[in-house]
Amino acid sequence: MASARLDVRLDQERRRKLNALAAARQAPVSQVVRELIDLAYEDAQRRSRQQAAEALSRLEVTDVPDPQTLSRSLDAAHAVPDPSNGCRRGLLPSGDF
């Protein structure tokens, strides 16, 4: 993966903390920064999924269709061809555009 240079200004306290993390991991500061970015991103994604799950759990769904009916309804709503007529799901038959 190609990398790009990033210039970040840190106060003395944050720089001290970053150096301490790098020393504890016996890794270059740049590697520690990349790992911390990955961890922060994963945490943000996890929180987003958790919030979505909580929002879904608050929905009051009273009439849940069976999976096949739900699948057909979603396919129809999103114009997905019916695989029972020989079309692979999500693909148009040749010549149809």
Mean pLDDT of 12-16: 98
Is the pLDDT at 68 greater than 50? The verdict is yes
Domain edges within the chain: 13-58
Nearest to 1 by CA among 29, 38, 28: 38
- Report how far residue 84's alpha carbon sits from residue 48's, in angstroms, rounded to the nearest whole number: 36
Other C-beta atoms lying within 10 Å of the C-beta of residue 81:
16
How far is it, in rounded angstroms, from Cα 81 to Cα 90? 6
What percent of the chain is predicted at pLDDT more than 70?
Answer: 81
Confidence at residue 83, expressed as pLDDT on a 0 to 100 scale: 62
* Res 97: pLDDT: 43
Task: Tell me the whole-structure pTM to 2 decimals.
Answer: 0.59
